[in-house]
Amino acid sequence: MANSSIIDDIKTKVVNILLTDPTIVKAMNVPYDDIDDLVGKNIFTFSQNPNVITDSETFITIQVHIPKSSTVSTTWVHPILEMWIISHNKHMKVLNMPRVRANRNDLLSQLIDEKLNGRDDFGYGQMFLQRNIEGVHPDNRDYLYRQLVFETKDLSKPVCR
Protein backbone atom coordinates (compact mmCIF):
# COMPACT_ATOMS: atom_id res chain seq x y z
CA MET A 1 0.00 0.00 0.00
CA ALA A 2 1.03 3.57 -0.46
CA ASN A 3 1.44 5.33 2.85
CA SER A 4 -1.79 7.38 2.79
CA SER A 5 -4.05 4.67 1.39
CA ILE A 6 -3.91 2.85 4.71
CA ILE A 7 -5.75 5.72 6.45
CA ASP A 8 -9.19 4.87 5.06
CA ASP A 9 -8.42 1.14 5.17
CA ILE A 10 -7.77 1.28 8.93
CA LYS A 11 -10.78 3.49 9.65
CA THR A 12 -13.12 1.28 7.62
CA LYS A 13 -11.83 -1.90 9.25
CA VAL A 14 -12.14 -0.45 12.77
CA VAL A 15 -15.72 0.72 12.12
CA ASN A 16 -16.63 -2.76 10.85
CA ILE A 17 -15.02 -4.39 13.90
CA LEU A 18 -16.98 -2.11 16.25
CA LEU A 19 -20.30 -2.62 14.46
CA THR A 20 -20.01 -6.41 14.26
CA ASP A 21 -19.15 -6.92 17.91
CA PRO A 22 -22.44 -7.19 19.84
CA THR A 23 -20.72 -6.68 23.21
CA ILE A 24 -19.15 -3.39 22.08
CA VAL A 25 -22.49 -2.20 20.65
CA LYS A 26 -24.25 -3.18 23.89
CA ALA A 27 -21.57 -1.46 25.99
CA MET A 28 -22.16 1.77 24.06
CA ASN A 29 -25.85 1.58 25.13
CA VAL A 30 -27.23 3.48 22.17
CA PRO A 31 -30.94 3.96 21.48
CA TYR A 32 -30.91 2.65 17.90
CA ASP A 33 -32.35 -0.60 16.61
CA ASP A 34 -30.20 -0.51 13.47
CA ILE A 35 -26.49 -0.59 14.30
CA ASP A 36 -25.69 1.18 11.01
CA ASP A 37 -27.22 4.27 12.64
CA LEU A 38 -24.19 4.36 14.95
CA VAL A 39 -21.94 5.65 12.18
CA GLY A 40 -22.24 9.42 12.11
CA LYS A 41 -24.14 9.52 15.41
CA ASN A 42 -21.94 7.61 17.88
CA ILE A 43 -18.99 6.43 15.78
CA PHE A 44 -17.06 9.06 13.85
CA THR A 45 -14.10 8.61 11.50
CA PHE A 46 -12.86 12.07 12.46
CA SER A 47 -12.43 14.15 15.61
CA GLN A 48 -15.78 15.17 17.05
CA ASN A 49 -16.36 17.98 19.48
CA PRO A 50 -18.70 16.95 22.34
CA ASN A 51 -20.24 20.43 22.28
CA VAL A 52 -22.17 19.44 19.15
CA ILE A 53 -23.57 16.24 20.69
CA THR A 54 -27.13 16.84 21.90
CA ASP A 55 -27.74 13.76 24.06
CA SER A 56 -25.99 12.41 27.16
CA GLU A 57 -24.44 9.50 25.31
CA THR A 58 -21.18 7.83 24.46
CA PHE A 59 -19.36 8.23 21.19
CA ILE A 60 -16.12 6.97 19.68
CA THR A 61 -13.86 8.87 17.31
CA ILE A 62 -11.31 7.25 15.03
CA GLN A 63 -8.31 9.05 13.58
CA VAL A 64 -5.27 7.70 11.72
CA HIS A 65 -1.96 9.56 11.62
CA ILE A 66 1.23 8.83 9.75
CA PRO A 67 3.72 10.91 11.73
CA LYS A 68 6.96 9.95 9.97
CA SER A 69 8.82 7.24 8.10
CA SER A 70 11.05 4.82 9.94
CA THR A 71 14.35 6.39 10.92
CA VAL A 72 16.14 3.25 9.79
CA SER A 73 14.59 3.05 6.33
CA THR A 74 12.24 5.04 4.13
CA THR A 75 10.58 1.75 3.16
CA TRP A 76 8.28 1.76 6.19
CA VAL A 77 5.81 4.13 7.81
CA HIS A 78 4.22 3.62 11.20
CA PRO A 79 0.52 4.52 11.07
CA ILE A 80 -0.99 5.53 14.39
CA LEU A 81 -4.61 4.64 15.14
CA GLU A 82 -6.03 7.03 17.73
CA MET A 83 -9.43 6.35 19.23
CA TRP A 84 -11.29 8.48 21.73
CA ILE A 85 -14.11 6.97 23.77
CA ILE A 86 -16.08 9.96 25.04
CA SER A 87 -19.02 9.68 27.44
CA HIS A 88 -21.20 12.23 29.12
CA ASN A 89 -20.69 11.97 32.89
CA LYS A 90 -24.34 10.87 33.25
CA HIS A 91 -23.69 7.96 30.86
CA MET A 92 -20.57 6.56 32.56
CA LYS A 93 -22.32 3.97 34.73
CA VAL A 94 -23.04 0.72 32.87
CA LEU A 95 -26.61 -0.09 33.89
CA ASN A 96 -27.56 -2.15 30.84
CA MET A 97 -25.05 -4.97 31.43
CA PRO A 98 -25.43 -6.99 34.64
CA ARG A 99 -22.33 -7.69 36.75
CA VAL A 100 -20.20 -5.04 34.99
CA ARG A 101 -18.30 -3.03 37.58
CA ALA A 102 -16.19 -0.94 35.20
CA ASN A 103 -17.34 2.45 34.01
CA ARG A 104 -18.44 2.69 30.37
CA ASN A 105 -15.20 4.18 29.02
CA ASP A 106 -13.01 1.63 30.82
CA LEU A 107 -15.21 -1.24 29.62
CA LEU A 108 -15.18 -0.06 26.02
CA SER A 109 -11.42 0.50 26.06
CA GLN A 110 -10.89 -3.04 27.35
CA LEU A 111 -13.18 -4.52 24.68
CA ILE A 112 -11.51 -2.52 21.90
CA ASP A 113 -8.03 -3.38 23.18
CA GLU A 114 -8.93 -7.08 23.13
CA LYS A 115 -10.17 -6.73 19.53
CA LEU A 116 -7.27 -4.72 18.09
CA ASN A 117 -4.10 -5.30 20.10
CA GLY A 118 -1.80 -7.81 18.41
CA ARG A 119 -3.78 -8.05 15.15
CA ASP A 120 -1.75 -8.61 12.04
CA ASP A 121 -4.26 -7.55 9.40
CA PHE A 122 -3.60 -3.78 9.57
CA GLY A 123 -0.67 -3.15 7.23
CA TYR A 124 2.42 -5.33 7.75
CA GLY A 125 3.27 -6.81 11.11
CA GLN A 126 1.18 -6.48 14.23
CA MET A 127 -0.76 -3.59 15.69
CA PHE A 128 0.11 -2.82 19.31
CA LEU A 129 -1.45 -0.63 21.97
CA GLN A 130 0.92 2.23 22.79
CA ARG A 131 -1.22 4.28 25.17
CA ASN A 132 -4.51 4.07 27.06
CA ILE A 133 -5.19 7.20 29.11
CA GLU A 134 -8.26 8.86 30.61
CA GLY A 135 -9.29 12.38 31.44
CA VAL A 136 -11.87 15.12 31.23
CA HIS A 137 -12.50 16.36 27.70
CA PRO A 138 -10.85 19.76 27.20
CA ASP A 139 -13.73 21.15 25.10
CA ASN A 140 -16.56 20.20 27.48
CA ARG A 141 -16.04 19.27 31.13
CA ASP A 142 -19.30 17.25 31.18
CA TYR A 143 -17.58 14.60 29.04
CA LEU A 144 -14.97 12.12 30.18
CA TYR A 145 -12.70 10.31 27.76
CA ARG A 146 -10.39 7.38 27.35
CA GLN A 147 -7.85 7.70 24.56
CA LEU A 148 -6.36 4.60 22.96
CA VAL A 149 -3.36 4.80 20.64
CA PHE A 150 -2.24 1.84 18.55
CA GLU A 151 0.71 1.62 16.19
CA THR A 152 1.28 -0.62 13.21
CA LYS A 153 3.66 -0.73 10.24
CA ASP A 154 3.03 -0.29 6.53
CA LEU A 155 4.99 0.21 3.33
CA SER A 156 5.85 3.81 2.50
CA LYS A 157 5.63 3.23 -1.26
CA PRO A 158 3.38 1.08 -3.42
CA VAL A 159 4.83 -2.35 -4.23
CA CYS A 160 3.86 -2.12 -7.92
CA ARG A 161 3.79 0.88 -10.21
Whether 161 maps to a domain, the answer reads no
Instruction: Output 35 or 72, whichever has higher pLDDT.
Output: 35
2-6, 100-104, 151-155: the lowest-pLDDT one: 2-6
- Domain of 132, CATH number, reads 3.30.70
Burial of 25 (0-12, 13-18, 19+ CB in 10 A): middle
What pLDDT, in 10s, does the model give residues 110-150? 999 999 999 999 988 899 999 999 999 998 999 999 999 99
What pLDDT, in 10s, does the model give residues 63-97? 999 987 655 667 788 899 999 999 999 999 999 99
Look up the domain containing 123 and give its range. Answer: 5-155
Give the total number of structural domains in the chain: 1
Whether 123 maps to a domain, the answer reads yes
E strands in 8-159: 43-44, 58-65, 76-77, 80-88, 124-136, 143-155
> In a 3-state reduction of DSSP, which class is residue 51?
helix
Residue 1: pLDDT over 50: no
Whether 160 maps to a domain, the answer reads no
